[in-house]
Structure 1
Amino acid sequence: MKKQLFLYTCWVLLAGSMMSSCKKLIEIGPPKDQLASNSVFLDSTTAEAAMVGLYANVANPNPGSDMGTLITLFNCMSADEAYAYSMNYYDDFTNNSLTPLYYYIDGLWSTIYKNVYIANSVISGMPGSPLSEAYKQRTVGEAKFIRAFCYFYLVNEYGAVPLVLSTDVNTTTMQPRDNVDAVYDQIEKDLTDAQKVLPATLDYYGGKRIRATTWAAEALLARVYLYRGKWQLAENMATSVINNPGLFSLNAAVDQVFLANNQEGILQFVNGITSSWIANNFVPSALSTTPKFVLKDGLHEDFEPGDKRKTSWVGYKNYGGINYPYPAKYKYMAGVGPVEYNQVLRLSEQYLIRAEARAQQSNYTQAAADINSIRSRAGLPATNAADKAALMTAIEHERRIEFFCEWGYRWLDLKRWPGVGNPAVSRADEVLSRLKGNQWQPTDALYPIPQSAINSNVNLTQNKGYF
């Protein structure tokens, strides 16, 4: 207990001074005397505190401003999942009318790049440490995983972004945007490097799923390969994770999927001390008349009769005789109820990644079997899909229901898939133009680069459709 308290105190001291010094990564250089200093890595206690701090900053530095909260809330409104009931300051997401001056866009950019900076600090500072080579390799692998994770969301939210790999002020303050393929190449490299050195068991982390393992690297690699159309590699990575029943299995009890350390979790982030970070945003209090965020009719109606996920993951608040549905995957607030951790990577995604990769390779029977693994867990009959078009429709349905209002899955899926009726446009263009009419433009698929970042870096350019 004393050691844990000391580690936490170290992180508070390190993070507190660092966060006050570091505004936007692209604007200013690293603080001269904080985490970037090699002195942090002279002994295992402070080095471990730095690593705990890295996860803490990504997961929950402040209620409502961590990556998971921002991405989940913003993306579910940008897509066709949910809307803010009475908070009109979120309307620009729902209406796809964002501008480079919008506060929340600046916040998302800054939050993710801040995490990149901390990861870069660990990657650059750890090699000079006198600690064992095995420890240094593992911690650098964790930092590379986090950096890859951050860049995955940066490149999907903003498109081409500055690929910052150091803490050198001379290379960060005036760095232009790198093309999407270059960013993805670095993501693959970081994850491949991490896969080789991260532990293959949970023993290093006390049996908990709260830090990166080789399986987390493979799971994220499977997703990256899928997004890039590398079907066989995506299938291989997903299969490697799925074929590890000693660590991972689909949880038959759907209402337990988001509990801490359940067997479906590949990587989980620890929430705040007293509550689930996302429950406080999605679940209305007893005194609230309506939910803060309401599921859109199309999503709510897309649940099939008998789907256990609707029973377990959708809540209702009655107001004026109307039942307003809201996301209820995370339920427990203020220390009441079982402990929930934020599911960052979970096994069900690997089945649906493999199903899609197999469908793209004309392996229809096995693709259907993967879909049925998810449907069976949800209490639904087997799919009738037997060709590529039908299987892709089935996969879209399962991904929409399985991952609604969770880490931006639906928003990113709509943008990466070609249209069903017209492959020359994106699935986002098809779906969101029907739903939102002239509020949707194809250029809305990328968020604007914050104007504050452009003002500070003359080499940054704006995305199309924004001024």
Structure 2
Amino acid sequence: MYSHSYKYFFVIGILTFLLLSCKKFVQVEPPITNPTSNSVYQNDATAIAVLSSIYNQMQFNGIAGGTQSISTLTALNSDELKNYSVDLLLSQSYSNALRNSSPVLFWNNLYNFIYISNAAIEGINKSTTLSSAVKQQLLGEAKFLRGFFYFYLVNLYGDVPLLLTTDYRINAKASREDTDKVYEQIINDLKEAEDLLNDNYVGLDAILTTTERIRPNKASASAMLARVYLYTGNWAESENEATKVINNTRYSLVSNLNNVFKKNSTEAIWQIQPVNPQFNTLDAAAYILTSEPGSNNYFALTNNLVSSFDDVDARKSNWIKSFTVGAKTYYYAFKYQVNAAQPSSEYAMVIRLAEVYLIRAEARARQEKVGDAQSDLNAVRARAKLPGTTANTKDLLIVALEKERELELFTEWGHRWFDIKRLGRASAIMSVITPQKGGVWSDNWKLYPIPQSEILLNKNLTQNDGY
């Protein structure tokens, strides 16, 4: 993983970017075969292509969208999605019965992305020929991406190897680092990214301002920092970073729930653009039911999730739809509303403003700022046509916010799965839910197994308990 498999992955990413980009480069070097090559970072176009390849490939490598994405598998792990597929990975994920041989792609693909990010950081820092504006933006993007990918690794697997170099001699023997140390690096990367990234969104040239919100900007780093500080218990810094985003006039909650996930919506902090402009998101393809779940459509929302919504909640009527076959009614996620083979009008949402409001609400509640926390929570509830919260103490607000995050962020990027773990609620919830899914809950299932193939390659790599 650490020294070989990235090459094929990277070449495909670069070729995809160069062939499918909506804007051609006037002069492009021959196809790049090695992101560590100094020649890659001798001109702006090829250096930009390194980072752009990551955004493009996130859609196709079990990360952002589709039937085996982070959003989907963690929704199956928790209490959001019901599985109707016979696929081994989907079935094991749903019943909380993953094995060390399960074909989960997250470990390898996240580390492949980290390798490319490391290569970009090294190459950009060494380059003396990149234009200064491009150099600063790309370095910020690489730092942001590395922090982002490590956030998901540490929440999926716990302690993980902390690889900050492209040196295979170091990476091949790396052991797992404590979660706290990994979080320290995540925070360092995101803080550097926050300093480096442009306030505005930039286009394919990494310089000119654009309306497309597909390359991370300064607010993207601030939003991720707010999330990371929340997860690590630094409430004051979480509130501070969230406030930077909320006070930015570029962002606002979209009043019409049907438009939240449109491309370049005012709620979007970071989105991923479909590589092919004639197709929409893989999430729409995965979640919208066009037939009874089974051979063609694999998932439906759980009754547990659907019944959690008040009937007057506008999210229930706008973001949840039903498909009836005979006497059976299935409910499905309808956040992405345009199915695949239509011109792109929706982009895959990675970070959005509603989450940032809920982050700040929780950070404020933890600091006993009850009134301020209520205000942030009510901003999200008002958009859903709900009355203001009745939670009026710190503890009641934490409970209310757990539910609000469930209702607002369902099937998005693992939020529900990560929330019930970080709040210490996984065992209580899943010991009831997992038997309903045909499995037996164990606290070991809170972390994914490290692929056994990686354990065999590296004697310093240990397995998570229970696998």
Q: 1:176-325 alignment to 2 at 5 Å?
A: 176-203=175-202, 204-245=208-249, 247-273=250-276, 274-285=279-290, 291-325=297-331
* Aligned mates of 1:7, 1:171 — CA distance in 2: 36
Q: Please give the alpha-carbon distance, in whole angstroms, between the structure 2 residues aligned to 1:263 and 1:4.
A: 22
Question: Mapping of 1:354-393 within 5 angstroms?
Answer: 354-393=360-399
* Mapped contact 2:173–2:458 kept (Cα < 8 A): yes
The answer on whether the counterparts of 2:213 and 2:270 sit within 8 Å (CA) in structure 1 is yes
- Change over 3 Å in CA distance of 1:335–1:208 after alignment to 2: same
Assess if the C-alpha contact under 8 Å between 2:201 and 2:216 holds in 1.
no
Compared CA separation, residues 166 and 80, structure 1 to 2 (3 A)? same
Q: Are the counterparts in 2 of residues 222 and 350 from structure 1 also a CA contact under 8 Å? A: yes
How many angstroms apart in 1 are the aligned matches of 2:371 and 2:24? 54
Q: Do the aligned partners of 1:84 and 1:294 also contact (CA within 8 Å) in 2? A: yes
Counterparts of 2:22 and 2:442 in 1: how far apart (Å)?
A: 50
**SS of corresponding position for 1:118:** helix
1:363 CA displacement: 0.7
Equivalence for 1:461: 462
Rounded Cα–Cα distance in structure 2 between residues aligned with 1:116 and 1:8: 29
Structure 2 equivalent of residue 20 of structure 1: none
- Comparing 35-44 with 67-76, which one deviates more in the overlay? 67-76
Quickly say closer, same or farther: Cα 1:287–1:158, change in 2 above 3 A: closer
Residues 376 and 338 (structure 1), Cα distance of their counterparts in 2 relative to 1, 3 Å cut: farther
- CA 267–12 in structure 1, closer or farther in 2 if over 3 Å, else same: farther
2:156 — aligned with what? 157
Contact residue 67 and residue 111 of structure 1 kept, 8 A: no
Sort the Cα spacing of 1:8 and 1:307 in 2 relative to 1 into closer, same or farther, 3 A: farther
By how many angstroms is 1:131 displaced?
A: 1.4
Q: Does 1:38 align with 2:10?
A: no
1:11·1:49 contact (CA, 8 Å) conserved in 2? no
- Residue of structure 1 aligned with 2:411, choices 396, 405, 411: 405
Equivalent residues of 1:11, 1:52 under 8 A apart: no
Gaps of 5+ in 2: 1-17, 203-207
Q: Would the aligned equivalents of 2:160 and 2:179 in 1 still touch at CA under 8 Å?
A: yes
Where does residue 175 of structure 1 map in the other structure?
Answer: 174
Q: Which of 118, 121, 127 does residue 119 from structure 2 map onto? A: 121
Cα deviation code 1:304-359 (max 9, x no counterpart):
12111111111211123211001111122234266111111100011100110111
CA RMSD of aligned residues (A): 2.2
Question: Is contact 2:324–2:330 with CA below 8 Å preserved after alignment?
Answer: yes
Q: Is the 8 A contact 1:249 1:263 kept in 2?
A: yes
Offset of 1:114 from its aligned partner? 0.9
Partner Cα distance (1:80, 1:193) in 2: 36
Matches within 5 A, 1:40-119: 40-58=40-58, 60-61=59-60, 65-69=62-66, 70-89=69-88, 90-103=90-103, 105=104, 107-119=105-117
State the Cα distance separating 1:137 from its structure 2 match.
2.0
Give yes or no for contact 1:259–1:338 (8 Å, CA) kept in 2. no
State the number of aligned residues. 434
Q: Retained in 2: the 8 A contact 1:112–1:154?
A: yes
- The one-character-per-residue Cα deviations of 1:222-266 (angstroms, maximum 9, x if unpaired) are 000000000000000001100012x10000000100000000001
1:394 to 379, 383, 400: 400
Q: Residues 76 and 405 of structure 1 are in contact (CA less than 8 Å); yes or no, is this contact kept in structure 2?
A: yes
SS of aligned partner of 1:271: coil
Q: Would you tell me which structure has more helix in proportion to its own residues?
A: 1
Matched-pair contact (CA < 8 Å) for 1:11–1:50: no
For 1:4 and 1:350, locate their aligned partners in 2 and report how far apart those are by CA, in whole Å: 31
Change (3 A) 1:411 1:12: farther
1:433 alignment partner, one of 427, 431, 434: 431
Give 3-state SS (helix, strand or coil) of 2:35's partner: coil
Query: Aligned letter for 1:316?
Result: S
Q: What 5-or-longer segments of structure 1 have no aligned partner?
A: 18-33, 418-425
Distance in 1 separating the partners of 2:25 and 2:164: 27
Q: Percent identity?
A: 39
TM-score (norm 1): 0.89
| 1:11 to 1:113, Cα distance in 2 relative to 1, 3 A | farther
Q: Deviations over 1:43-66 (max 9, x none)?
A: 1121222222122123x246xx33
